[in-house]
Structure formats: structure tokens, C-alpha cells
Structure 1
Amino acid sequence: MSGSNLEHGLFLAPYHDVQESPTIALRRDLEIVEWADRLGFAEAWFGEHHSTGWETICSPELMIAAAAERTQRIRLGTGVVSMPYHNPLMVANRILQLDHMTMGRVMFGMGPGLLPTDAEMIGVDIRSLREKLTEVAEIIVPLLRGEEVTHRTSWYDLQRARTHLRPYTQPHPEIAVASAITPSGGMLAGRHGFGMLCVAATEAAGFDVLDENWRIANQVAAERGHTMDPRRLRLVVPMHVAATREKAREDVREGLARWVQYFDRVAPAGMRGMAGGDPVDILVGAGRAVIGTPDDAIAMIERLQAKQGDFGVLLLQAHNWAEWEETKKSYELYARFVMPHFAGTNRNRQESYGQLSANIDRLEGERQAGADAAFSAWQRIRRKGEEAGEADGESV
């Protein structure tokens, strides 16, 4: 596997400022996925949250159903379903229905649940979330295969349970598990052969353990006789791209400040060091985000590759820092300049242009020599004609 296999997608938590219309925000989430599909992005993932006011998608399945009808080829995933809040049979039924509705474009991402305020509202012990995810991981694959499952835990009881539909995708839709900083995501992925969604890839603590969590996943997988596929490893990065760094900074200044303020409340550890300075300088300087040009985006991805090694998909975090048209332009610039860089799309064209540049003087000399020869030949023909005309005149 090499960098040319890298795919690109979106990760929509989403982040919607509490001052703006939620109706318009949700419509634009769908529109940006439609735009990404037209630009050639491979994937889009929708989150699940139920509190805090900003991350307003409570059902990623609903978003996938709507996005599927607007798009042609982009794959659509739950990023992620908070499994301790649901009965696993109900989740499996919804995923398999989407598998049929999208004709195989759905991906199933699951996690323990990120926001403690979500768990508190429904009386789920926050300390039990990872344990519950581990329990449900044991039976989610047979459920998604359409098999019969009997399984009892402290929070659900399945008695000869099976989904109504069998999967459209064989043997089942792709499964990924959220991974942030702790090794639990890597351990779970390795144990069951799941993909990984590294949602904190550029945060200081998340970046530091990128390769370690992947190593853990591979070690656990090897102990069970299978191998991890780096194509199913996805890294999430916040980026805003513009023609110049100055333009990028101008685009995001107000929206970024509000986003940082939100994160300072919901994840204060993730915003340490942000007080008292320009958030653009701090985020970019720490390598936590790209706010710059396509070249800056390329440099960030290469930095991640140097740390992680090969991975399958770079997911742009849909942060809504900029106004609508600037946001769309950012994705367009990424598709125009960053995606072809890693795909090697322009390699032949660039080599051809390079050969032209390297040989232009020689080729121009040969072309001019050919032109000069043509003029000389014409002059010879012309002189012969004139001489023949003079000879005819003398004979008369």
C-alpha cells in the first residue's frame, strides 16, 4: 500500500453555532455532502449527539437516508452510533435497512458515546460506557450477518433475536470503532477486525498515540490470527483551505473563535493553551489544524503519514468555521490540488511538461531548422521558376 491509495472524506459531528438556524444548518450538512460527492470525495460520516446545543444530529441514520437520495457514489457512515444508548438489535435493523436503501454504500461506525451530558440525561453511568461498547461488540457482527443471537447483559436481553433483513453487502456492512486517546478503541478493533476512526488525530495527546494505538490493534489482531487493514484506518483533521494563508485566516476568524469557545466548555482538556493568544496561530503552530493553502494541507497529511504510516482515509472535520461560500470553496480547492497530489493523478502530465521544459531549446532549434529548410526549398523553387521564365523570354 502507498500514498496513492489514500482516499478522502468528511466527518460531520456536526458543529452548528447556537446563534444560527438549526434548520438551515442541517440542510447545509446535506448540501455539503452532495457537494463532496460531486468533487470526488469517497466518504461522509455523521455523528450522534443529544446535548450541548451544537452537535445537533441525533440520528446519523436519518442523515444517511437523506444524503443517499442526493448523491451517487459517496459512501455514508455513522460516525458514530453511541451504542450504550441503544438496543443493539434495533441498531442492526436500521443499519441493514440503510444497506439496502443505499445499495451497499452504508458504513457502520460505533463508539461508547462522547458527551457525558448525553449519558446523564438517560441515566447511563458514564463510567460504564466503554464496558458496554465492549459487550455489544461481541454480538454486533452476527446480528449484522442476519444470524440469530441470544445474549444477556445488565442493559439488554436478546432472546433468539435476528434482524428482519439480511445484509445487502456481503458478509455485512463495514464496521469501524471510534478511537481517540485511550487504547480501548485499538484493542476493540484488533479483537474483532473492525476499522478505526481516529477522531482526535491532530490533538496533542491523540497525535502522540496514533502509531501506538494502531500497534496495539495489530498486536491484538495477530493474537487472534488475523491482520488489520490500513485501508480501514481513518484519521480526522480540521482544515480550512483558501488561495492564500491570509485569506484562510480571514475566512475563519469569527467562526473559529466561537468553535474554540464551545470546545472550551465541552472538552476543556482539548483546548488547553488556547487562552490569551490568536487561536489560528495556536492551532496551526501546534499542528492541530490546517488554516492555510492546499500546500499546507499536503504537509499536514504527510506529517500524519510519517507518524502513523499508511492509512486509508483522511477525513476533513466539518467545523463550519467559515461562511457558506468560503466553506464550499475550501472543499473545492482540496479536491483540485490535494487529492490529485496523493493519487498521482497528474504524474504523467507533469512528466510530459517537464520533458517539454527540459528539451524546449533543442526542439525549438530543430523546429526552426525545419522551418528554415522549408523557406530555403521554396526559394530554390522560386529561383528555378524565375530562371525558366527568363529562358522562355529569350527564346521568343
Structure 2
Amino acid sequence: MLTLSSLADQAGLSHVKMTEHYLHPYGGYCPNPLTFLAAVAARTRRIRLMTGCLLPAFHHPVQLAAETAMVDALSGGRLDVGFARAYLPYEFETFGVRMDESRARYEATIKAVLRLWTEQGVSERTPFFSYQDATSLPRPVQPPHPPVWGAAVRSRQSFAWLGEQGFGLLVTPTLSSLAEMRDHIEVYREAFEDNHGSTGRSPRVAASLPLYVGATEVEAARTGDALLGEYLEVWAEATDSWRSTRSADYQGYTGMATAIRGLDVRALRESGGAVVGSVERVVDRVSEVRAELTADCFLWQVDFGGVTGQVAETSLRRFIDEVLPALAG
């Protein structure tokens, strides 16, 4: 991943993104995205560094504010901070956090981090944390603070809240049809415009999707479908704990593992839930998905399905050398 990050920086790509998870091959190999991104910062010069996402439910806001500001400083002001509510029951159980307080804790922590970044002598008293006269150090390099993004999956409330706050929106349209995700994105855009339209600021949407660019259609399907199959199986295993979990804060999540196992890899790439194909096919699919979702940028998952470094690098080089020029044209 460090090699791929350096390659992306040299090619002028916009972001490197890393996500926080624990205890399972589904994301658990990078429990601290900030540690990874600090290493990326040391070997790159231009590319922005995105947490996609940090999980506020498992952290104190003073910790999050200080550690994100430190990476912002180390990178010369290149950090984008994405937050997510977390959704895996075994993570909540391990950290001793109630899932039914997830949304309230998420919102309170993000608001506290924003104050710690921009104010001095901050005091907070919430059901989840409290402190008096706190001044977080170091201060962020970017004024007034690093760009903030939030992930939303299914809940219209989540899409609307991110728009109301003026944050960027992170989506992964793997379990939703592109049309359904487009409708959710419109909820976000409307909420953003209603609350921030007069400020000159614009909503920002980043879509994250698995990407594999093959030498031919046949090779892409052979390699990409195997990777997608492994990706879906590992994801389904991580969500198996939803079989016996219910939470008012996560309507519609029970039975997620069954839904994931019901996905067909060929249907997934044909529906736009993953972009797999030859250079020509990928150019067409990226254009179609971009138009459907009205996304401002893509965060391509090139490390999905237990892919080897060599295979991922070959795919990324094809994307950089052949797909991007064709899209620009």
C-alpha cells in the first residue's frame, strides 16, 4: 500500500484513503489510519491523505483532535478527515460501547473535535465525555481546520445530517443500486444547499468502489471476479454478527450478511457496484457511474479481495497510464 501510495502521488492522483476497523481481515489490518497516513506523508509530496473513516464511537474527542492535527502538521496541511458511525457489532461489544447510542455519540464527538481544532479553553459536558478548559495541541495547519467528510450508507437521516453540517459525503454504493444511491445523494445535496447555499460553499461527494483494470475483458473477469468473490466473503463474515443483533440506530442492518452473500460478482460489476474490465470497459463504466451518481471524485479500492501487491500495482498503472488519459479526452 505504501508503494501504491507513492505511485499515486507521482501520477498526480488526488487522495490516499484508509479506513479504521478491528479484529477481522475486513479492514482490521489497519486499525489506525492516521499511523498509515503519517507514513504516506513521509514519502509523498502532493497527494492528500484521507481517513475514510475514523470511528468516533471508539475515541475521546481530545485524542482525535490532537492526533489528526499532528498528521495535518506532519504532512504540511494535506489531511482530509472522514468520520463514520461504525457498524460492526463485534467492535462495539469489544470496546464496551452501546450501539443504540451510536448516532448521538458520533455527532457529539465530531462537534467536539471541530471546537477543539478552532477554539481554546474548550469545555464539554455530554453523556459520553466531559472536560474543562481544554486547548488541543498541536493546532491544525489548514485554516480553520482540515476538510471534514462523513460516511453514509442507508439512513436518509445520515445523508441529511452531513448536508446540514456542511461536510463532504463519502458513499460506497455496493449494496445499493446506483439509482437508490443517487436519491440518497440528492437528500444530502438538498440539505447542504438549504443550510449553506448562501455561503458560496459547494457539496462534495466522493464515491468508493472496487477497481480492477485488466489486460483484456477475459483476463479482467477472471482475475477481478475472484478478487470480488473473496472481498464479498470476507465482508459477509464480518457482518455475520448482525444475524443476532438488533439496534434502533441501525434500521435495516439485521441480515446484512445474507444480503452480501446473495450478491453475484458478475451482477455486481455490471450494476456499477464495482468497476472491473479492460481499459475500454473501465473508461465506459467510470463515465456511466460518474454521471449516475454525480460524484465529484472517486476513491478507488485497488486493495480489495486479498489482492497481491504486484497485481494491484499493474492494475493501478493501467488506470493511470491508459484510463485517465481516455477519460480526460
Confirm whether residue 283 of structure 1 aligns to residue 278 of structure 2.
no
**Alpha-carbon deviations, 1:178-216, whole Å to 9, x = none?**
111212332222121111111x224335x3332322322
Confirm whether residue 259 of structure 1 aligns to residue 231 of structure 2.
yes
CA distance in 1, matches of 2:223, 2:273: 18
Q: 2:122 aligns with which of 149, 164, 167?
A: 149
Amino acid at match of 1:324: G
The structure-2 alpha-carbon separation of the partners of 1:334 and 1:32, relative to structure 1 and needing over 3 Å to count, comes to same
What percent identity do the matched residue pairs reach?
24
Aligned-residue RMSD, C-alpha = 2.1
Task: Tell whether the 8 Å contact from 1:202 to 1:288 is kept in structure 2 after alignment.
Answer: yes
What SS class does the counterpart of residue 329 from structure 1 fall into?
A: helix
Scaled by the length of structure 2, what TM-score is found? 0.86
What residue in structure 2 maps to residue 273 of structure 1?
262
Scaled by the length of structure 1, what TM-score is found? 0.72
**Alpha-carbon deviations, 1:288-335, whole Å to 9, x = none?**
2122112222222222233222x3211111314543322111111111
Instruction: Quote the offset at 1:103 in angstroms.
Output: 0.2
The structure-2 alpha-carbon separation of the partners of 1:208 and 1:129, relative to structure 1 and needing over 3 Å to count, comes to farther
Q: 1:134 aligns with which of 104, 107, 114?
A: 107
CA distance in 1, matches of 2:282, 2:157: 29
Amino acid at match of 2:17: W
The structure-2 alpha-carbon separation of the partners of 1:179 and 1:224, relative to structure 1 and needing over 3 Å to count, comes to same
CA distance in 1, matches of 2:18, 2:129: 25
What residue in structure 1 maps to residue 18 of structure 2?
46
Q: 2:187 aligns with which of 207, 216, 221?
A: 216
Task: Tell whether the 8 Å contact from 2:55 to 2:85 is kept in structure 1 after alignment.
Answer: yes
Which sections of structure 1, spanning at least 5 residues, go unmatched? 1-28, 345-396
Amino acid at match of 2:187: I
What SS class does the counterpart of residue 197 from structure 2 fall into?
A: coil
**Alpha-carbon deviations, 1:274-296, whole Å to 9, x = none?**
4xxxx542322333212211222
CA distance in 2, matches of 1:272, 1:258: 11
What residue in structure 1 maps to residue 298 of structure 2?
314
Q: After TM superposition, list the pairs within 5 Å mapping 1:1-396 onto structure 2.
A: 29-55=1-27, 56-198=29-171, 200-205=172-177, 207-226=178-197, 229-230=202-203, 232-267=204-239, 268-274=257-263, 279-309=264-294, 311-317=295-301, 318-344=303-329
What SS class does the counterpart of residue 183 from structure 2 fall into?
A: helix
The structure-2 alpha-carbon separation of the partners of 1:166 and 1:321, relative to structure 1 and needing over 3 Å to count, comes to closer
Amino acid at match of 1:216: V
What SS class does the counterpart of residue 299 from structure 1 fall into?
A: helix
Pairs aligned (count): 308
Instruction: Quote the offset at 1:255 in angstroms.
Output: 3.7
Which sections of structure 2, spanning at least 5 residues, go unmatched? 240-256
CA distance in 1, matches of 2:78, 2:40: 11
Bigger Rg, structure 1 or 2: 1
Amino acid at match of 2:190: Q
Amino acid at match of 1:128: E
Amino acid at match of 1:208: A
What SS class does the counterpart of residue 76 from structure 1 fall into?
A: strand
Task: Tell whether the 8 Å contact from 2:225 to 2:266 is kept in structure 1 after alignment.
Answer: no
What SS class does the counterpart of residue 226 from structure 1 fall into?
A: helix
Instruction: Quote the offset at 1:270 in angstroms.
Output: 4.5
Task: Tell whether the 8 Å contact from 1:211 to 1:307 is kept in structure 2 after alignment.
Answer: yes
What SS class does the counterpart of residue 176 from structure 1 fall into?
A: strand
Task: Tell whether the 8 Å contact from 1:239 to 1:316 is kept in structure 2 after alignment.
Answer: yes
The structure-2 alpha-carbon separation of the partners of 1:257 and 1:286, relative to structure 1 and needing over 3 Å to count, comes to same
What SS class does the counterpart of residue 140 from structure 1 fall into?
A: helix
Q: Deviation above 6 Å: which 4+ runs of structure 1?
A: none
What SS class does the counterpart of residue 17 from structure 2 fall into?
A: strand
